[in-house]
Chain A
């Protein structure tokens, strides 16, 4: 298994500002994912962040809006840039360990005013 922590757990931000979310894993993992989950909705994959390469973004998400860093096998950051109220959501970090089993961080609850 993998234990994941995220910072901050929640934040309230002003429109136009940026927020960087940190994800720390207690073991080295190759594959890391960033998801967004809006109220009442399922998880939407933003990007896959593998160490040593650029993040791969899903349709509808771009690097300028959601820059990602993955400096090593236990850490990643996701920045939500130039925020608008539509970015209000829960952002979840996730890793794959074992036999394709996914583990999730506790999430960052973002509210943009």
Chain B
């Protein structure tokens, strides 16, 4: 099993839709998780951190399921500007911080 797995998509949704992505991870000892957003030809930027069961910020909700070893990102009321690639990051646990990135999930929001 790969360390971090994401469905590459693309997820093609209309404006206003609710869309959710999952990210599965193999390191059961990981304590913190992150969602990054990457726009085309731009660097990744932190979207949300997930340290416990979940985190909510406006239209975005991240949830953690430790038993099944996945994190999810829910986007409500999708906007055209939400179109981007969403990267899941799971740092390795113990010792030095070594981040492992998923390959990203592409989201396209259309009018």
* Residues of A that sit less than 8 Å from B by CB: 31, 33, 41-43, 45, 48, 92, 96, 99-107
> Which residues of B approach A to under 8 Å, CB–CB?
32, 34, 36, 42-46, 49, 51, 87, 89, 91, 96-99, 101-104
Interface centre among B91, B98, B99, B104 (most CB of A within 10 A): B99
List chain B residues, Cβ under 8 A from A45.
98-99
Q: How far is the CA of A45 from the CA of B103 in the complex (A)?
A: 12
Given contacts A31-B96, A48-B96, A107-B43, contact A102 B103 (CB under 8 A): no
Q: Given A48-B96, A96-B97, A102–B104 Cβ distance below 8 Å?
A: no
Of all chain A residues, which has the CB nearest B6?
A: A42
In whole angstroms, what is the CA distance A101 to B49 when docked?
8
The reply to whether B43 and A41 form a contact with Cβ atoms under 8 Å apart is no
9 A-B residue pairings within 8 Å (CB atoms): A42-B103, A42-B104, A99-B49, A100-B34, A101-B46, A102-B36, A102-B44, A103-B46, A106-B43
Complex Cα distance, B32 from A79, in Å, reads: 32
Min distance, Cβ A24 to any Cβ of chain B, angstroms:
15
**Distance in Å from the Cβ of B94 to the closest Cβ of chain A?**
13
Sort A-B residue pairs by CB-CB distance and give the 6 closest, nearest first: A42-B103, A104-B43, A43-B101, A42-B101, A107-B43, A100-B32
Partner of A101 from B34, B98, B102 at Cβ < 8 Å: B34
User: Are B32's CB and A41's CB within 8 A?
Assistant: no
Chain A residue with the shortest CB-CB distance to B89 = A102
Contacts of B91 in A (CB 8 A): 100
Which residue of chain A is the closest to B4 with respect to CB atoms?
A42
Smallest beta-carbon distance B36→chain A, Å: 8
Tell me which of B49, B87, B98, B101 contacts A48 (CB under 8 A).
B98
B44 to chain A, nearest CB (A): 5
- Please give 8 more A-B residue pairs, beta carbons under 8 A apart, in addition to A42-B87, A48-B96, A100-B34: A31-B97, A99-B32, A99-B51, A102-B34, A102-B44, A103-B46, A104-B45, A105-B43
